[in-house]
Amino acid sequence: MAVERQADAVDAILAQWRRERPDLDVSVMGLIGRIKRCEVLLQRKLNQTFAAFGMTRWEFDVLATLRRSGAPYGLAPTALFSTLMVTSGTMTHRLQGLEGRGLVQRLPHSEDARSMLVQLTDAGLDLIDRAVAAHVANEQRILAPIKPAELAALDLRLAKLLAVLEATP
């Protein structure tokens, strides 16, 4: 059964490639192009919510990672930068900014005297709790036009793609 859909910007790009290089099967470009375009457009919509709380995406990511770690909402910097897939230098810079704003603090690690823990302050906990509630509501608004069964099917297919990508060195 064919599904009808509106043409999008990626269709125009594919048409150009088919005209210029009819010898190539560019159909995979459509899938990857749509994923990339969705990421850009989604991030714009998500950034609006983060900005309403005076945060950038990366600040939200750091605070949310600490929050979801559970009480007392602290992690070693190594765990943070590994989870967020950034370098230690990048994480150090980001933590300095969040610490300067009073949203995180660095404390001695109770189980390892050689290292520190990064922990949410009360202000950081309050901010991320409010921001994550607004973030979830925003994501629900963004996806509301899509039927729940279609979202479940999309989630399953994206999980399969993610498994393939994560398995590839």
For the chain, the structural domain boundaries read 53-144
Which alpha helices (H) appear in the chain, and where do they start and end?
9-20, 27-52, 57-68, 77-84, 88-100, 122-143, 148-167
Is 3.30.70.3450 the CATH classification of the domain at 53-144? Answer: no
Predicted TM-score (pTM) of this structure? 0.84
Q: Are 104 and 98 in contact (CB under 8 A)?
A: yes
Average pLDDT over residues 116-124: 92
Higher-confidence residue: 158 or 84? 158
Tens-place pLDDT, residues 138-165: 999 999 999 999 999 999 999 999 999 9
Distance of alpha carbon 127 from alpha carbon 53, whole angstroms: 8
Q: How does the average pLDDT of the chain come out, rounded?
A: 90
Tens-place pLDDT, residues 23-34: 999 999 999 999
- Output the CA–CA distances (angstroms, integers) from residue 104 to 9, 69, 81, 83, 154, in the order listed: 42, 14, 15, 17, 36
